[in-house]
Structure 1
Amino acid sequence: MQTTNADAMYDHQNRLKRRLSRDDKTIDAKLRHIRQFERAIGAIDFRAITEEKILNYRLSRESRLESDEENSLSASTIVHALGDVTEFLEALATQPGYSAITRDLIDCLKPAKRTVQLAHGPSDTYSPPLEHILAVIYALPAKTIWERRDRAVVAFAVLSGARASVIRTLRLKHIDIENRTVFQDAKVVDTKNSKTMLTSWFPVGLDIERLVIDWIKESRSLGAGDEDPLFPKAPNKIRARSGENTFEFWSTIEPIRAVFVSGAQLAQVPYFNPHAVRHTLTKLMFKFATSGEEMKAWSQSLGHDDLGTTFKHYGTLDSKRVHSLIGAIRERLEDPTRLDLAEQIKNASPEHLEIIRGILRLGNSNLSLGM
């Protein structure tokens, strides 16, 4: 029986799931990249792939890097796509009938050095000021129950710092209003790396807390129970007409993203995705936390065991803020009464020493500071 491209992709899907134990979300992303590759090479049989086809595919991806066009791609997306296709072709090359897929052919997918550097460099994700997030929340209408749900979704994102996948799968029982906590139970909640954790609400305002609390109370007043979704999808028209209250989970995070898109348009602020809110919360940590211990607590509520993770992936400052901070340091050092560095370290609290250690680890410094 003739093996088709569809058969090859199906076999690869099974290999990823059964032999490599990849999760469904990862598998879907990899298969999407492989299907894009198939379309880019004209849907020819994979056994007929040529060097020219592969090079054209790679160059077409990289030509969209940092493009001003709507179909531009990030360096990270390009590297991941090329990596997923490489993994697929490497597996395919070991199968009978695919001996024409050589190592030299596969190596044509290797991304340019600059693309790799950009992909692994600091993220330039837009992190909106808190004022923009609040503008989005209050720009969203709140006349219907589903409009109030949407407004509560954005409020909960900044209140909890939860990822969109978590917001989609949380149940009402996971929210403790009295103690202001969220229990992210990996058994039923789609957490990163299947990690279970208890996180606290961030101090972003009592009005934001009230929007979330009011939504939970309204949801329960309609008959929602502990096991029902925190943010259910709207029922279809037939069920809505029947008056039957049903509470179903969203199947993807796209409706959550759509709420943020709509809110940004209504508030007339730059669009930011749900994950960008976590960057905003990190910058609020720098503003509000007054000790290393408070920073550690804030970091753990973002789901980071290591404070260095928060600094490295979420703590990047824009150039204007860097300039302002360096200027403040310069003014402070011009004070003749200042302590020198060694004296400051000698008198530092344990919390401040922890911060210094984290910064040194990130910078791979060889300076021990006597620690």
Structure 2
Amino acid sequence: MRKVNEENERIKRRYLKYLKAAKRKDPSTVQKAADGILKFETSTNYASFKKFHIEQVIKFRDRLNEEISKTTGKPLSKSTIATILAANKGFIFWLADQAGYKQRVRHTDADYFNMDAKGQRVASAVRESPYPSLEMARHAFNYMPEVSEIDQRNKALFAFFMLTGARDGAVASLRLKHINLIDGCVYQDAREVKTKNSKTITTFFLPVDDEYLTCFIEWVTNLRTEKLFGPDDPLFPPAEINVIDGAFKVVGLKREIYKNANAIRQAIKEAFTRADLPAFTPHAFRKTLVKWADTHYPTRQAFKAFSQNIGHSSVITSVSAYCPISIEEQGELIKKKKKRNEDD
């Protein structure tokens, strides 16, 4: 059981409430802030924040640079360190305005949590992340079994990701009423669906592969006509598990949405590993689809429509985050330009 400073706990609760209620931060962002502040507090042996001084921050930064991740067994990444420091910088800046702390903490004290310029460049550097090609995705899809209801659900889930590029958190919270098979779209209503930044998105099914659409339509039809699921029932329901003959067995589907996207991520990973491919996550599909769209929507207006379709307010986000030029492509394009100049 960890040590607790009750005075610190009270002021931290106030700050986290401020982030959630006033700054409207996502729960995951609030949790990261809480984790980062706790890490700093631990480094001071839970000393009162009223005894804050910059030497604590200097020692804390040095400790972060030396710390070994329990998950990877390697030093903390620069991006992880940057996240931890940013969490504490925001907290200390806020603390400087709070009664009981104003005389002890100044706004400029928060600057000591800044990362050095070199570390910041490393932390913010864009790196290529692996993603499945269209052929790899179709190969994994074809390998998925269709024997049980859970098998059928997982295959429809895979198809849905390829049709929409939706984020897994949103998909986990979708209900049947959000699906419009007539117009071929899903209405991600932020009042009910856990979209990023609570953004309402209308996503039309992408014409990537007819097999995906057929699979998904069959799943929705089955839920509505065979399982008699209604509008408020989940699009991808969790498994209903009971004890039968002393063992846990799947007996059907629940009429409730997932609490998080963990099971959905696992289902997609298993689909790829079953086909002897890397365990890609659902988010990797977004890059697959952006690469596909880069060819299939060549005009500025068409690609803007695609970008909007996957929930991006700006085409720049789609291009910079999901469609970077690889080193190989960079070399090929530069060499082609040189060759054209020589030919001229």
TM-score if structure 2 supplies the norm length?
A: 0.82
Within 1, Cα distance between the matches of 2:23 and 2:340?
55
For residues 155-234 of structure 1, what are the structure 2 equivalents within 5 Å? 155-220=159-224, 221-234=226-239
Within 2, Cα distance between the matches of 1:141 and 1:63?
47
Within 1, Cα distance between the matches of 2:77 and 2:128?
11
- 2:149–2:252: 8 Å Cα contact kept in structure 1? no
The residue aligned with 1:277 is: 285
Residue 28 (structure 1) aligned with residue 31 (structure 2): yes
For residues 57-96 of structure 1, what are the structure 2 equivalents within 5 Å? 57-62=60-65, 69-70=72-73, 74-96=77-99
Counterpart amino acid of residue 45 in structure 1: S
Q: CA deviation at 1:225?
A: 1.2
Residue 312 (structure 1) aligned with residue 312 (structure 2): no
Counterpart amino acid of residue 238 in structure 2: K
1:253 equivalent among 247, 261, 275: 261
Q: Deviations over 1:287-308 (max 9, x none)?
A: 2234333323322222234333
The residue aligned with 1:352 is: none
Q: Deviations over 1:34-54 (max 9, x none)?
A: 234334444443344554543
| Segment of structure 1 superposing worse, 146-155 or 279-288 | 146-155
Within 1, Cα distance between the matches of 2:222 and 2:39?
44
Q: CA deviation at 1:244?
A: 7.8
**What is the DSSP-based 3-state SS (H/G/I as helix, E as strand, rest coil) of the residue aligned with 1:237?**
strand
Within 2, Cα distance between the matches of 1:133 and 1:90?
47
Q: Deviations over 1:165-223 (max 9, x none)?
A: 22122211222223321212222122233322322212221122222222222333212
| Segment of structure 1 superposing worse, 190-199 or 81-90 | 190-199
Counterpart amino acid of residue 319 in structure 1: I
| Segment of structure 1 superposing worse, 6-15 or 117-126 | 117-126
Q: 1:242 to 1:262 in 2, by over 3 A?
A: closer
- 1:65–1:74: 8 Å Cα contact kept in structure 2? no
| Segment of structure 1 superposing worse, 185-194 or 163-172 | 185-194
Counterpart amino acid of residue 259 in structure 2: S
Give the aligned CA root-mean-square deviation in angstroms: 3.3
Within 2, Cα distance between the matches of 1:112 and 1:276?
31
Within 1, Cα distance between the matches of 2:127 and 2:77?
10
The residue aligned with 2:8 is: 5
Counterpart amino acid of residue 175 in structure 2: R
- 1:33–1:85: 8 Å Cα contact kept in structure 2? yes
Q: CA deviation at 1:264?
A: 3.6
The residue aligned with 1:321 is: 329
The residue aligned with 1:16 is: 19
The residue aligned with 1:108 is: 112
- 2:241–2:251: 8 Å Cα contact kept in structure 1? no
**What is the DSSP-based 3-state SS (H/G/I as helix, E as strand, rest coil) of the residue aligned with 2:328?**
helix
2:58 equivalent among 55, 60, 66: 55
The residue aligned with 1:302 is: 310
Q: CA deviation at 1:283?
A: 0.8
Counterpart amino acid of residue 147 in structure 1: D
| Segment of structure 1 superposing worse, 136-145 or 196-205 | 136-145
The residue aligned with 2:295 is: 287
- 1:62–1:115: 8 Å Cα contact kept in structure 2? no
Q: 1:132 to 1:322 in 2, by over 3 A?
A: same
Within 1, Cα distance between the matches of 2:178 and 2:24?
28
Within 2, Cα distance between the matches of 1:64 and 1:264?
34
- 1:123–1:313: 8 Å Cα contact kept in structure 2? no
Q: For structure 2, which runs of at least 5 residues remain unmatched after alignment? A: none
For residues 125-140 of structure 1, what are the structure 2 equivalents within 5 Å? 125-140=129-144
Q: CA deviation at 1:160?
A: 0.4
- 2:130–2:284: 8 Å Cα contact kept in structure 1? yes
Within 2, Cα distance between the matches of 1:163 and 1:16?
23
Counterpart amino acid of residue 182 in structure 1: V
| Segment of structure 1 superposing worse, 16-25 or 208-217 | 16-25
**What is the DSSP-based 3-state SS (H/G/I as helix, E as strand, rest coil) of the residue aligned with 2:112?**
helix
**What is the DSSP-based 3-state SS (H/G/I as helix, E as strand, rest coil) of the residue aligned with 1:37?**
helix
Counterpart amino acid of residue 89 in structure 1: I
Residue 38 (structure 1) aligned with residue 46 (structure 2): no
Q: Deviations over 1:319-346 (max 9, x none)?
A: 112223334444555555xxxxxxxxxx
**What is the DSSP-based 3-state SS (H/G/I as helix, E as strand, rest coil) of the residue aligned with 2:232?**
coil
Within 2, Cα distance between the matches of 1:246 and 1:22?
31
Within 2, Cα distance between the matches of 1:265 and 1:70?
24
Q: CA deviation at 1:162?
A: 0.6
TM-score if structure 1 supplies the norm length?
A: 0.77
Q: 1:47 to 1:282 in 2, by over 3 A?
A: same
- 1:264–1:270: 8 Å Cα contact kept in structure 2? yes
Q: 1:241 to 1:200 in 2, by over 3 A?
A: same
Q: 1:155 to 1:122 in 2, by over 3 A?
A: same
Q: Give the fraction of aligned pairs with identical amino acids, expressed as a percent.
A: 28
